Structure 1
């Protein structure tokens, strides 16, 4: 079990209080009922696999992963008579004094105009819009990899903001994790994530460490590492481990770079061999005696090393040595539209939209001003998706 108050404390810590506390508490308090509701829609669950971020106590896992979950939801929608139109793009909305009247849809090469009594906007963020990312991150955004769809370009987010919807969070805030630099630009998915960071030393292309790899357990820190890598020269970093740590994390889709010595590994990673050898030697010299425990903070730390490593610090001294090249993998952006507890979009003057509701990533920034707790994005989508659907249906029939 994951008590609501523990969940709340974790959320307050990772967001540094940058959250709408009313909406956040509502989401967390509804979380215990979510698995039962999902099961009723046909979603099947499985036990946590070894190495799944250490989340077996706090998170539930879908059989078949996210695709299995979505397939179950689409099948349920079909059973209920919902028509899903694929390969269609909404290019514009018409709002009159805060009230939705119609939208423009392109499908099969033809443009259509559709009217409805209410609208739910669940169109995601803009993580696949590299030009928009550059507005906050500069030219370095060209080196970002997008974990999901190439179609999440933020068109409807931009439309709502242009209509005067009140923004939440900041343009440079996002869920970003370290993924293998050999991954495709888009659609690499969860398989490209590399989970060895807490057992490694992380170095930039100058072969220098730049952050405490052992600050906390991986589920509470993995989503900060994409941003940390994004701040490094060339938006690239390298996780360095030895054979002692090779089997402590989930297998990776790409094999690590392997070498018999640190100098040889540096050459294969195109790093300066002398610098990486010195960085590893300095780190090893700072490792203090302790009882290593890969499953929880163990206090195994360094002394006299900058930055320090506060947990899981072990000498990297047992060949073969391994390295993973890592880049920022953007999952979703946090800049979105403000909503109230009925999922109504809020405009700049504080008034709610009459019949426009938002759910999912396009409004997740109400709760995630910064930081992340594993699985929270899906929880926000579930809770606010149901609220938005119920409110939109109520508005349509009344």
Structure 2
């Protein structure tokens, strides 16, 4: 049986960055990926872009995006709940990551149109996340990395300050290996609905899981039970409002709806409950999952009219449509009188719309309305009218493994000599709450490379 220097648990972006870096440093590496080959890559195959600091144009990125501006964007969405040293490490290192990604097979394309407003801050992958994942697997194979698919890790044996054994099941039988070093890059626990329910309460049963069904937190739970330091809260997560018709698992990024800034959003009682125009969508889309989760039956409804239909990226499921608000209410099972009253009240609160600008904060706001709409507030008057249902779509959970600047894990007695973590399983170190578009891929790339470097140095 092959003797491995490093075992990497997980098969997404962070795992692959670690594997390539370690292999280039001379280590013999195996990736243990729980998913079958067609579903390899974890949540990374659903991604589109990477948020990147840069001084001046870089690859597909225009202008510049400074460390301080990037950090301010992060502080805004997390409300300051972040480890600033680790956050700045991720931000600063992101600039060198983009050319590294290109040298390892990733190709970039101009940003997508729509409401994302990311041409300056985020580099988009040609072929999306699946293109990135496939490119990395090809590069890893050339570097001699072995990959086992449908290899579900069940236990890491922690003795004193070292991992001595990795247990996993593969092809119907149980196996154990004893690598010199281990990197955990196996994501959060969001696909375990029972664990989500323990954290959130019964409402979590109504949540949809945007990403892979294979991120069930088995290794995370195993390590936490053995006293490995944790970070983050079990009920904090990257949760967005997605199309209510999305599948329970693995709907991916295409189920996200980008129409909220140009809409009003109501609950099942046809009441508005939050400012739809608070900020540009990349800085606010990740709060809407939690907002919808707090509504009756964990559901919301988007209402727009004909003049807004082409302002956002098309949805994967067509919207419900009617020539009248009453007809739309009937199709959405909303109380028609109440919806009509809510829309009329909103329309009356709208003022001068001549400054409307769909891709930047335009100050076109309501007056005397609670909750207000502070940007893009135009009356909903032009038929046909369109509607979508919204459900909470969980991308990944923030309870994870605490790491230091070397991506190393620890217990009460100090660092674990041969255990590192990267990606979503340690992202709670930096994301205490909220989310910034493309930042998960930044964390995975930066800390994957660090973990690969450190594990290879230890193994060698």
Q: Does 1:298 align with 2:362?
A: yes
Alignment of 1:203 with 2:262, yes or no, is: no
Partner of 1:161: 224
Listed as ranges, the matches of 1:165-176 within 5 Å are 165-176=228-239
CA distance in 2, matches of 1:259, 1:57: 38
Please report the TM-score for the alignment, with normalisation by the length of structure 1: 0.98
Q: 1:44 aligns with which of 77, 86, 107?
A: 107
1:338-377 mapped onto 2 (5 Å cutoff): 338-349=402-413, 351-377=414-440
SS at match of 2:458: helix
2:396 corresponds to which residue? 332
CA distance in 2, matches of 1:25, 1:346: 21
CA distance in 2, matches of 1:89, 1:52: 39
Shift of 1:235: 0.7
The answer (yes or no) to whether the contact 2:210–2:393 under 8 Å persists in 1 is yes
Q: Equivalent of 1:135, from 180, 188, 198?
A: 198
In the alignment, is the contact (CA less than 8 A) between 2:154 and 2:218 conserved in 1?
yes
Number of residue pairs matched? 396
> Partner residue of 2:374?
310
Q: Which SS does the other structure have where 1:374 is aligned? A: coil
**Does residue 322 of structure 1 match 2:386?**
yes
SS at match of 1:345: strand
Residue 241 of structure 1: aligned partner: 304
Among residues 314, 337, 350, which one is paired with 1:274 in the alignment? 337
SS in 2 for 1:365: helix
Stretch moving more, 96-105 or 59-68: 96-105
Structure 2: how far apart are the matches of 1:284 and 1:274? 15
| Cα deviations by residue, 1:163-217 (Å, 9 ceiling, x for unpaired) | 1122211111111111111111111111111000000000011100000000000
- Aligned position for 2:145: 82
Report if the CA contact (8 A) 2:115-2:359 is conserved. Answer: no
CA distance in 1, matches of 2:293, 2:248: 15
Which consecutive unaligned segments of at least 5 residues does structure 2 have? 1-63
Would the aligned equivalents of 2:115 and 2:358 in 1 still touch at CA under 8 Å? no
Q: CA deviation at 1:296?
A: 0.5
How far has the Cα of 1:136 moved from its partner?
A: 1.8
2:92 to 29, 33, 46: 29
Q: Distance in 1 between matches of 2:381 and 2:131?
A: 42
| SS across alignment from 1:84 | strand
2:154 pairs with one of 76, 91, 108 = 91
Deviations 1:94-137 (A, max 9, x none): 01012100011100000001101110000100110100000121
Residues 410, 416 of structure 2: 8 Å contact kept: yes
Q: Which residue of 2 aligns with 1:17?
A: 80
Match of 1:104 in 2: 167
The structural deviation recorded for 1:52 is 5.8
- DSSP-derived class of the 1:274 partner: helix
Once residues 199 and 264 of structure 2 are traced to their aligned partners in structure 1, the CA distance between those partners, rounded to angstroms, is 28
Q: Distance in 1 between matches of 2:343 and 2:422?
A: 46
Question: What displacement does 1:250 show?
Answer: 0.2
Q: Does 1:214 align with 2:277?
A: yes
Task: Identify the residue that residue 64 of structure 1 maps to in structure 2.
Answer: 127
Task: Give structure 1 stretches of 5+ with no counterpart.
Answer: none
| 2:147 match: secondary structure | coil
Match of 2:317?
254
Q: Which residue pairs with 2:291 in the alignment?
A: 228
Assess if the C-alpha contact under 8 Å between 2:305 and 2:385 holds in 1: yes
State the distance in 1 between where 2:342 and 2:215 align.
40
Which residue of structure 1 lines up, in the alignment, with residue 255 of structure 2? 192
Q: Shift in Å at residue 346 of structure 1?
A: 2.3
Distance 2:303 2:290 in 1: 19
Q: Could you tell me how far apart the structure 1 residues matched to 2:221 and 2:199 are?
A: 15
Residues of 2 paired with 1:352 and 1:144: CA distance?
36
In the alignment, does 2:453 pair up with 1:390? yes
Q: CA deviation at 1:391?
A: 0.6
Conserved? CA contact 2:108–2:126, under 8 Å: yes
SS of the aligned residue for 1:134 comes to: helix
Per the alignment, in what secondary structure is the counterpart of residue 239 of structure 2? strand
1:348 positional shift: 3.6
Question: Could you tell me whether the CA contact under 8 Å between 2:115 and 2:311 is conserved in 1?
Answer: no
RMSD of equivalent CA atoms: 0.9
CA apart distance, 1:389? 0.6
**Once the 2 structures are TM-superposed, how far is the Cα of residue 31 of structure 1 from its aligned partner?**
1.1
Give, in whole Å, the separation in 1 of the partners of 2:256 and 2:288. 11
